[in-house]
Every structure is written in structure tokens, then in C-alpha cells.
Amino acid sequence: MNKTLTFTKAQQHFMVIGNPIAHSKSPEIHQVFAKQSGLDISYQRQYCPDNAESFYAVITAFFNGGGVGANVTVPFKQLAYDYCQTQGSLSEHAKVAGAVNTLLLKDEALYGDNTDGQGLVNHIESLGWPLNGARVAIIGAGGAARGVVLPLIQAGISTLTIANRTVSKAQVLVTELSAANSTINSHKLKSCATEELTGAFDLIINATSIGLSGNTLPLADDLSSHYVYDLMYGRALPFLQHFAQRGAQTSDGYGMLIAQAALSFERWTGQAVDVKSATVSLKAGAT
Ligand code: ATR
């Protein structure tokens, strides 16, 4: 009669949806967080055909099947944003980014957040690079650039110049961001063509998709910065090498990847992540 009954916590289900998706590191990253927190999770890579109907069908099946949270990656971030805007709700960061990378259910409707920009800020701060009062330049005016602007401004940067190959896109982005959020408006963003970006900055961020393509950006000779960040990660990035040779401290975006994942995990589970120790585990696992 005094038999001891053992109860285990139910496994929680997560996924990352994208196309392509096989390369995604999110499952291994979230398993490290789950181990830290003592949670039993499944985290799947979910391939989805590149059309809205398939995306809605997969998302509906996932959450109706008891899924707790989903990450959204290329090419579905804007679609997830559009859906949450009309049928659910959005965080302020997702609203300004115009893109969603984190989905969960709130009041039986989809809630979309965007943790990319705050992930960048958290990683930069963990490197000890000062953001308060910093003169910052972002090169690139696509979705990646748009997603990092509000968190950088909230971190206290003093000026922000957005430079782009197609200068009209940088101008439109500045106008749209200024209209979207009063905190951004008060900072008077500037825009220019990439080759017109000149002089000294505290931080330059490469938010173009040029990455490992072999192409190089037309950078002015006198463009310099104490700190230089590339949102891409992987092999040695020519953009970072250019500035490292001129004495800058540099970082690729692997730390941002872990930091944005940690913020998603915290939103979903309410458990705080020790990003530093997770990074050590992930780097050890990669060797
Ligand atoms: P993402 O979502 O990754 O930001 P995107 O919206 O397609 O992708 O934006 C890509 C960015 O990289 C743009 O700023 C693009 O410049 P243009 O607006 O002029 O197209 C930039 N980019 C991509 N390839 C580039 C190259 N070879 N040289 C310079 N800029 C490049």
C-alpha cells in the first residue's frame, strides 16, 4: 500500500521551421540549455515548402499537437510576422524588426517575438565592448539590419549610420524605423552609400549577406573602428580580417546565435540560461 509512485515531467516539444533547415544548429543549442535547466525537451528541424499555405499548416499542426515554442528562420520570418500582426500579437522588437524568429501561444493565439537584435546586444556586452555612447555604423539595409536597430538604440548608442550598396534602401529603412518607434526617432539615424562611410566609429556591424561569397564591400580607406562585428559566422570572414589587420577587435555572429536562442528558450520555459557555460559546452562539443 505504501508503494512509491514516480512522476516524470512531461517532455516539451519545440522546433525550428525553415527552408533550407538541415544546417540549423538550433537543436543542439537548445538541448544544451535544456540540460542546464533539467528539462526534457525535443527540438526538431522542420523543413517546410516555401509557400504560405504549407507554413500555416505546419505551424497549426505543431501548436495543436501541444508544441510549446517554435523558432522561425529564412524564408518565413516575414510571413510569421504578417500572421501574428493580423491574427495574433507581436512584441515591440518584432514590430520594429518586421520579422518574427520566436513563436509561442498566448491566450490561444500566436505571439511573435524577435530575439535576434537583443541577442546581438547581449553578446556584444558579454564581450565587454561598450555600447553606451557608442558611434555605430551598420552596413546593410535588409532584414538583418532592421532587426538589430531598436535593441542597439535601447542599449544607449549615441549615433547610428546605416550604409548600403543600394543607398535608397538605406534611406527607406531609416524613414521606416524612425516612424515605427519614438525611441529610434529621437536618435536621428543617418544613411549613406557603403563607400561613403568614412572616418572613425566605435562599432561597425556587417549586416549584409555578403558573408563568404568571395565578394568584398567597397570600404573607404579611412574607415576605422575599435570594434567590428559580422552577423554571419563560419569560416574566417574577409570583412573581419580587413579590420583586424588595422587593429580592431572583431567577432563573428556565433555568439549572437547562442544569445538569441537563449532569449527564445527563456521566453518559452521561464528558465534562465547561463549563456557563458552553454557556449563552453557547445564549443567543446564541436571539437
Ligand atoms: P537579410 O535578411 O540577410 O538582411 P536581405 O534582406 O536580402 O537579407 O538583405 C541583404 C543585404 O546585403 C542588403 O543590404 C544587400 O544590399 P542591397 O540592398 O544593395 O542589395 C546586401 N548585399 C548582399 N550582397 C551584397 C554585395 N555583393 N555587395 C554589397 N552588399 C550586398
- 230 and 277 both lie in a single domain: no
Which range of residues forms the domain containing residue 82?
13-114+256-286
Same domain, 248 and 132: yes
CB of 18 within 8 A of CB of 73? yes
User: What's the CATH number where 107 sits?
Assistant: 3.40.50.10860
60 and 161 in a single domain? The answer is: no
Q: Are residues 43 and 157 in the same domain?
A: no
Ligand 1 centroid to 61 CA: how many Å?
Answer: 34
Q: Do both 184 and 274 map to the same domain?
A: no
Q: What integer is the mean pLDDT of 205-220?
A: 91
If one counts the domains in the chain, the total is: 2
**285 torsion bin: left (phi>0), alpha (psi -120 to 50), beta (else):** alpha
**Residue whose C-alpha is closest to residue 13's, from 43, 36, 33, 39:** 43
Grid coordinates representing 136?
A: 555605430
As annotated, the active-site residues are 77
Q: Let me know whether 83 and 22 are in one domain.
A: yes
**What pLDDT digit, counting tens, does each position of 65-93 carry?**
999 999 999 999 999 999 999 999 999 99
Mutate to test the pocket of ligand 1, among 164, 208, 210, 256 (most ligand atoms within 8 A of CB): 208
**With a 6 A CB cut-off, is 104 part of the ligand 1 pocket?**
no
Is there a single domain that holds both residue 244 and residue 269? no
User: In the chain, what percentage of residues exceed pLDDT 70?
Assistant: 98
- Compute the distance between CA of residue 225 and CA of residue 200 in angstroms, rounded to an integer: 6
Looking up residue 153, the CATH number of its domain turns out to be 3.40.50.720
257 vs 182, higher pLDDT: 257
**Residue for grid cell 495543436:** 64
For 4-49, write each residue's pLDDT tens digit: 887 767 899 999 999 999 999 999 999 999 999 999 999 999 999 9
On whether the CB atoms of residues 31 and 40 are closer than 8 A, the answer is no
Q: Are residues 77 and 177 in the same domain?
A: no
Which residue's CA is the closest to the ligand 1 atom numbered 26?
Answer: 210
Return the DSSP state at 4: P
Q: Residue 149 gets which letter from DSSP? A: H
- Return the ∠ at Cα 183 (arms to 181 and 187), rounded to 5°: 115
- Three-state secondary structure readout of 217-282: CCCCCCCEEEEEEECCCCCCCHHHHHHHCCCCEEECCHHHHHHHHHHHHHHHHCCCCCHHHHHHHH
- pTM, whole model, 2 decimals? 0.95
